[in-house]
């Protein structure tokens, strides 16, 4: 069976781990990101999802690369995480985050759903903050809450088409994005680790396993899967 993974932000962190795991499971890998994946087996399509009309530049390459596939798994992984709050958030900054975290999944859905056959899947990579909030992360929290709504709508709108969808919501994961967010502070990372049941950060490969499970199992359709290592609330 010809199977393809289309993933955004597949060049590092959770995206890279996911690409590796799907490749081992005999998927063709297509990575949409600004930077090239380090995996030789990946078809890289360079794109900046924060820019307007990016889809016009890549649609021909993307669609031709997906044609003839029996199943397509679309994983919306790329995201932007910044610190801000409801009193001082800047509209343009908020728009930029929504372009990457929310609008790009909508665009990719409209491009690829017409090519998806029975057994295909759309997996959203959310966050533990997709169902709760913490201070000083207004735009990120808002975008991830909206992503859950988009997943739920995907499930309902595709009813009867045998394309399933789920939202995997990682907790504190040992990625470059998280380290950048805390400014490389080991103290901050250790504090996050202490809030999990095993007193450690989650590894990207663990989230990748959850994404693969969701992609391959239609029974999860409509599910929010919390992958937070038993985070202490």
Residues 31/60/81/87 CA torsion (nearest 10 deg): -170
- The whole-angstrom separation of Cα 116 and Cα 49 is 22
CA angle 167, 31, 113 (to 5 degrees): 55
- What is the pLDDT at residue 233? 66
User: pLDDT class for 231, splitting at 50, 70, 90?
Assistant: confident
Kindly indicate whether the domain formed by 3-170+206-227 is annotated with CATH number 3.40.50.720: yes
The H or E element containing residue 8 is: strand 3-8
Give one DSSP letter per residue of 19-48, joined into a string.
HHHHHHTTEEEEEEESS--S-TTEEEEE--
Single out the residue of 168, 148, 164 nearest to residue 18, CA to CA: 168
pLDDT tens per residue across span 93-147: 999 999 999 999 999 999 999 999 999 999 999 999 999 999 999 999 999 999 9
Say if residue 232's pLDDT is above 80. no
The ranges assigned to domains in the chain are: 3-170+206-227
List of residues 6+ apart from 109 with CB closer than 8 A: 74, 122, 154
- What is this structure's pTM? 0.95
pLDDT tens per residue across span 2-58: 999 999 999 999 999 999 999 999 999 999 999 999 898 899 999 999 999 999 999
Average pLDDT (209-225) is 98
């Amino acid at each position: 069976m010809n199977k393809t993974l289309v993933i955004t932000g597949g060049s590092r962190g959770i995206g890279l781990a996911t690409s590796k795991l799907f490749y081992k499971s005999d998927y063709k890998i297509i990575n949409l990101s600004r930077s090239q994946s380090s995996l030789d087996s990946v078809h890289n399509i360079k794109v900046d999802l924060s820019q307007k009309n990016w889809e016009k530049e890549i649609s021909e390459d993307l669609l031709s690369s997906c044609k003839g596939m029996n199943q397509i798994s679309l994983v919306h992984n790329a995201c932007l995480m910044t610190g801000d709050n409801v009193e001082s958030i800047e509209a343009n900054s908020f728009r930029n985050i929504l372009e990457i975290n929310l609008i790009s999944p909508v665009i990719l859905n409209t491009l690829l759903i017409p090519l998806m056959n029975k057994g295909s899947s759309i997996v959203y990579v959310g966050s533990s903050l997709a169902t709760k909030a913490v201070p000083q992360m207004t735009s990120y929290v808002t975008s991830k809450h909206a992503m859950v709504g988009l997943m739920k709508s995907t499930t309902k709108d595709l009813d009867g088409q045998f394309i399933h969808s789920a939202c995997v919501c990682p907790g504190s994961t040992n990625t470059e994005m998280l380290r950048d967010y805390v400014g490389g502070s080991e103290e901050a990372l250790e504090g996050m680790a202490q809030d999990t049941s095993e007193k450690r950060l989650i590894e990207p490969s663990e989230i990748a396993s959850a994404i693969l499970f969701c992609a391959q199992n239609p029974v999860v359709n409509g599910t929010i899967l919390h992958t937070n290592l038993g985070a202490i609330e």
